[in-house]
């Protein structure tokens, strides 16, 4: 977990419907980088190798093969696509992976004769490579869909399953079984340089819920340890981060993630970080405007909510004390508020969260914890950079770009059309897809922000159906980020992207 320091947010007196209202507070120091799980990509995983190169491994869209591609960190160039796995009558739909010391361990979720996402795979492939180029593979027996573990030297790897696991060492591949009474669905395993395996799973057998760790080398009798962790068997996922660290809980949400770890292979496992949602001091909203959690790279974790739906509270989490700082008011609104749809497939690079107060959409944002600002704009039409670092917020008279380095930048051009959309171009500029008052509101023209408003870039070939265009909405639930443009049942999905130095659009059916 990251070592981040929170802030105490000062009292707000500005109305939430006022663009540019701000609240000052004591600034928070930036947090150093945290250990993270590998990045998920469609069908697979992106791994950062020891030399800084990126290795992407994924299953083909037709499930018939597994491919890899490598980014050279020194040149910034992607290498060719390479075939990692292809076998007659084998269908693979998802790839999990871990890396250490340049070596890579993968799990390809596979079935014979066809792959179905709602069915547990029973022909999954364990794969290992010393360098991300040459591969050996092994067919796992039974249902296998959890990520592998890898030793710090990269030479040993382990693939956990239900009451058993498979190991790869310099001596080859071996299968091992063990008694894991009460094992629930989620399981993970770690392995050391000496091939010591820790098999980790949650159980509710006998109550209360707890985490069970069975540790052994070879087929020796395992050492069993029980670790008390809330919801370890019913509501939590497990994943290994390295040979001595396991995450538990809602893994993609820092507020819901606990850490169980040990100093070394000879030490017992223990809860070293509780999930912030279980930490003391977290205020209760009693389901009025229920708590939402926001964070960004190098920034504290915040909880925001309201008991009255008009006065929004915020508090920051202190990971060293593993406790929440006292809540303070950061917003006051004349009308009752509810949360906007704030879900994104990837975390944003900025601290920003949307509210609806009466008929107005408002975004609460802070650059560094020193100042909270209320910006009035259409959060449901927000535009995101491909990696989520920048956010463009449209309004009828102004466009706002929110960035980590500059905070909120106000651009003079507005976005008046109900189907017009805008995306950020770095921290201080934006690109608009607009109808320009023509084609019944269906956008066809690309424009770039300028000191005086918008400057025309090009005309697109987007369709303009007969009905009047009714709405545009950001689609952020999966990658790539895009917009849905529609009128009733007619419409399309569009991306506004930069390609080879020029801005263009990519359309798909709605």
In DSSP notation, 67-96 reads EEEEE-TTT--B---EEEE--TTEEEEEEE
Distance (Å, whole) CA 277 – CA 198: 27
Q: At 7, is the pLDDT very low, low, confident or very high (cuts 50, 70, 90)?
A: very low
440 by Cβ neighbours in 10 Å (0-12 / 13-18 / 19+) ranks as middle
* pLDDT digit string, tens, across residues 166-183: 999 999 999 999 998 888
Determine the average pLDDT of the residues in 317-332: 94
Beta bridge partners of 200: 188, 213
* pLDDT digit string, tens, across residues 179-211: 988 887 789 999 999 999 999 998 877 667 889
Distance (Å, whole) CA 448 – CA 373: 26
CATH pick for 39-277 out of 1.10.10.10, 2.130.10.10, 1.20.1090.10, 2.60.40.10: 2.130.10.10
Higher-pLDDT residue of 31 and 107 is: 107
Q: At 35, is the pLDDT very low, low, confident or very high (cuts 50, 70, 90)?
A: low
pTM for the model stands at: 0.86
CB–CB of 38/47 below 8 Å?
Answer: yes
- Say what the pLDDT of residue 17 is: 33
CB–CB of 323/283 below 8 Å?
Answer: no
Q: What phi and psi, each to the nearest 5 degrees, are found at residue 357? A: -115, 105
In 3-state terms, the chain is what percent helix, strand and coil (to 5)?
0, 45, 50
Pairs from 117-122 (Cβ < 8 Å, separation ≥ 24): 117/93, 120/145, 121/93, 121/145
- Say what the pLDDT of residue 370 is: 67
* pLDDT digit string, tens, across residues 252-311: 899 999 999 999 999 999 999 999 999 999 998 877 899 999 999 999 999 999 999 999
What is the bridge-based pairing of β-strands 337-339 and 360-366?
unpaired
- Say what the pLDDT of residue 255 is: 95
Residues of the chain with CATH 2.130.10.10: 39-277
* pLDDT digit string, tens, across residues 120-153: 999 999 999 999 999 999 999 999 999 999 999 9
Q: At 235, is the pLDDT very low, low, confident or very high (cuts 50, 70, 90)?
A: low
Strand, helix or coil for residue 507 = strand
457 by Cβ neighbours in 10 Å (0-12 / 13-18 / 19+) ranks as middle
Higher-pLDDT residue of 9 and 129 is: 129
């Amino acid at each position: 977990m990251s070592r981040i320091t929170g802030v105490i947010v000062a009292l707000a007196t500005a109305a939430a419907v006022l663009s540019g209202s701000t609240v000052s507070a004591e600034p928070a120091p930036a947090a150093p980088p945290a250990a993270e799980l590998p990045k998920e990509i469609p069908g697979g995983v992106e791994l950062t190798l020891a030399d800084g190169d990126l290795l992407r491994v994924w299953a083909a869209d037709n499930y018939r093969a597994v491919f890899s591609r490598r980014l050279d960190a020194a040149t910034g160039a992607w290498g060719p696509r390479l075939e990692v796995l292809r076998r007659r009558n084998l269908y693979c739909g998802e790839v999990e992976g871990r890396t250490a010391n340049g070596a890579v361990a993968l799990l390809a979720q596979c079935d014979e004769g066809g792959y179905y996402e709602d069915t547990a795979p029973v022909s999954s492939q364990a794969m290992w490579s010393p360098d991300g180029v040459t591969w050996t593979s092994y067919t796992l027996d039974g249902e296998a869909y959890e990520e592998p573990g890898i030793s710090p030297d990269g030479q040993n790897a382990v693939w956990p399953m239900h009451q058993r696991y498979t190991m790869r060492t310099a001596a080859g591949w071996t299968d091992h079984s063990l008694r894991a009474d009460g094992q629930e669905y989620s399981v993970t395993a770690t392995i050391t340089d000496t091939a010591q395996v820790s098999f980790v799973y949650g159980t509710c057998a006998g109550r209360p819920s707890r985490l069970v760790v069975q540790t052994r080398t070879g087929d020796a009798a395992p050492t069993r340890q029980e670790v008390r962790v809330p919801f370890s068997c019913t509501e939590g996922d497990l994943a290994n981060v390295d040979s001595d660290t396991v995450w538990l809980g809602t893994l993609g949400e820092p507020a819901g993630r606990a850490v169980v770890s040990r100093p070394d292979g000879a030490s017992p496992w223990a809860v070293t970080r509780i999930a912030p949602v279980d930490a003391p001091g977290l205020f209760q909203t009693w389901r009025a405007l229920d708590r939402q959690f926001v964070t960004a790279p190098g920034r504290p974790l915040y909880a925001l909510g309201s008991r009255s739906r008009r006065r929004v509270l915020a508090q920051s989490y202190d990971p060293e004390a593993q406790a929440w700082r006292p809540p303070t008011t950061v917003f006051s609104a004349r009308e009752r508020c509810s949360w906007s749809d704030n879900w994104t497939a990837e975390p944003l690079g900025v601290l920003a969260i949307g509210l609806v107060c009466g008929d107005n959409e408002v975004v609460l944002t802070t650059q560094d914890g020193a100042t909270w600002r209320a910006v009035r704009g259409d959060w449901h039409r927000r535009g995101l950079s491909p990696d989520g670092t920048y956010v463009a917020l449209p309004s009828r008279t102004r466009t706002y770009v929110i960035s980590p380095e500059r905070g909120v930048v106000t651009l003079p051009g507005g976005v008046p059309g109900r189907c017009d959309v805008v995306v950020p171009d770095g921290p201080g500029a934006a690109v608009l897809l607009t109808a320009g008052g023509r084609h019944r509101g269906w956008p066809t023209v690309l424009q770039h922000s300028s000191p005086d408003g918008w400057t025309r870039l090009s005309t697109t070939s987007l369709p303009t159906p007969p009905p009047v265009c009714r709405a545009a909405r950001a689609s952020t639930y999966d990658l790539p980020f895009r917009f849905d443009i529609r009128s009733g049942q007619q419409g399309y999905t569009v991306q506004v992207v930069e390609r080879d130095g020029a801005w263009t659009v990519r359309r798909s059916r709605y």
